[in-house]
Structure 1
Amino acid sequence: MAALLWLLIPLFAAIGAAIYAGIAARAGKRKSGGDVAELAGYARFREAMERRPSDSDAAA
């Protein structure tokens, strides 16, 4: 009987990990749309880096 108990511990741990992974993946999907915002931010960054500094920027 004790051997059965020791075999159940990893089983419960695996079930708990699967439940946690499912909840974490579901929460990540709710925050989805971050890719679009991230790509837009990267495009703004690229545009800013491609711009040449103006005379007023050089004085600062």
Structure 2
Amino acid sequence: MQPLTVSAVTSSFFEDESQFAKGSIKFDNALLMTGIEHEWHTLPSKPARAPATA
């Protein structure tokens, strides 16, 4: 594992304020992992949540 230097981060998933309150997600690190066996699997879509009420 090697740490990576990150100059900018964007995410249409985590920037969706209907799913995550503004400021509730914070990027903390990036790691490069090599030589690890893995498989990618598609997950079903996550249903939209109703907005929080005060």
Q: Do the two structures share a fold, i.e. TM-score over 0.5?
A: no
Identify, as 1 or 2, the structure richer in strand: 2
- The alignment's TM-score, normalised by the length of structure 2, stands at 0.19
- Using structure 1 for the length normalisation, give the TM-score: 0.18
Q: Which has the higher helix share?
A: 1
* Pair member with larger Rg: 1
